[in-house]
Amino acid sequence: MNVMINDISEDLNTSVAGVQTAITVFLLVMAILMIPCSKLTDRWGRKRCLVGGLTVYGLGAGISAVSPSLGVLILGNSILEGVGTALLIPPVYILATLYFDDLTTRARAFGRISGMGGIGAAAGPLIGGVIATAISWRAAFVFQVLVVALIVVLSRRVDDPLPPDPSAPFDPLGAVLSAVGMFCVVFGILQADNDAALTALFVALGAAFLVAFFLETRSRERAGREPLLHLSLFRNRTSNLALATQNLQWLILMGTSFVVAVFLQTVRGYNAIETGVIFTAATVGVLVSSLGAERFAKRRSQKLLIAAGFAVTAVGIGLLLGLVGASSRVVAFAPGLLLIGLGLGVMLTPSVNVVQSSFPEELQGEISGLSRSVSNLGSSFGTAIAGTILVSELGSGNDAYIVAMLVLAGFAAVGLLAALRLPAQVETAAPSR
């Protein structure tokens, strides 16, 4: 979507801000539904949720391919693909946790999963750019349908180690309150360049819904009923810090991807494939560092890997800032994107591993949903915050780009501080209920 912004906006007669909204809503739908969908894996079964999510995602991609307007694109790409992703991601992490029970082998599994996720996020611009330039942006969604169909066929080999439990409790009120709260906060950020009062209103409204969610959850726990999310999960300091690093990693990745892609297309005038090619540097970085996840986990502590990842990413952002004014050539973006890819690839796996390993098997579904929700909320914030800064001042050229990247550098610094506060050794512990 990032590299096809010009093509989509021209074809559907919309603006860069309109496509930004579609991208952000997709990420937001994933975030707000990840926890409820993770709870549904217990009721419906992990494999059923995986296949069901893939099917909904494929339907959304098909609708996106034929969409005549931005509204239909949002329905297909933002809503249906978002719902499908929220259904299919928790089973992936839960199954990996259930299949592997020690830190090293689990690190290998999470390394492959996180590595593929990071590569997908980094390689998506290249693949999308090639297809959009060679055929059209609509063909990129047809390509998604084909890939999803292949995965559905291959998923027949997946075995669910635990049977579904239709009687597993579910908290619909908590799901609604948490979803509305997060949606209002992110939607408010998107309005920042149009109406400050509206932004304040939606952020305040979102905060109110989240407070209501907290009170409703606490009430259910005290009454002995199963809540959507046990508040005791947040009593684990190690997990809290690792969740913060996950949020910031995806905020930086998606924020950088959006800012660089929009800048290259709208300010520098590059087409989809030229924009996509430059992101190959980030893809190479993520691939190289992710492939070494198991080896790194054996030799270095999770804390050191996460801290090093944020440090390398910050240097990469510094290069993107320093070289933008030094050269007008697109290759000037390669060194910075390469370092960002290396940094993110180094720390994606340890962060997930720390979170998942902080809790016993019976809480894996719940913590997996929380983990992915926090990560996707970070992606939403990255596109919403950095993207809004850039889009609001596109006419100013390099200045808006510099401000947006400085904001992302600030988030990298916060992530480094959170990583440095992690314990040197990770221990599995169950929170008290």
Of the two residues 316 and 332, the one the predictor is more confident about is: 316
DSSP symbols for 99-135: H--SHHHHHHHHHHHHHHHHHHHHHHHHHHHHHHHHT
Tokens representing 71?
A: 């509204």
Residue 294 DSSP label: H
Residue 432's CB is within 10 A of a number of other CB atoms, namely 7
Tokens representing 198?
A: 């509206």
Alpha carbon distance 319, 327 (integer Å): 12
Q: Give pLDDT tens digits for 257-292.
A: 888 888 888 877 887 787 888 888 887 887 777 777
pLDDT at 105 over 80: no
Characterize 298-322 residue by residue with b for buried, 16 or more Cβ atoms within 10 angstroms of its Cβ, and e for exposed.
eeebbbbbbbbbbbbbbbbbbbbbe
Alpha carbon distance 38, 375 (integer Å): 14
Q: Which pTM does this prediction carry?
A: 0.78
The torsion region of residue 163 among left (phi > 0), alpha (psi -120 to 50) and beta comes to: beta
Confidence of residue 216 (pLDDT cuts 50, 70, 90): very high
pLDDT at 235 over 60: yes
Alpha carbon distance 213, 177 (integer Å): 5
Averaged confidence pLDDT in the chain:
83
- For residue 223, how far is the Cα from the chain centroid? 34
pLDDT at 433 over 50: no
Predicted pLDDT at 98: 79
Angle between helical axes of 16-44 and 172-190 (0-180°, round to 10): 160
Fold of 2-170+228-420: Growth Hormone; Chain: A; (1.20.1250)
Of the two residues 109 and 139, the one the predictor is more confident about is: 139
The torsion region of residue 9 among left (phi > 0), alpha (psi -120 to 50) and beta comes to: alpha
Alpha carbon distance 260, 270 (integer Å): 11
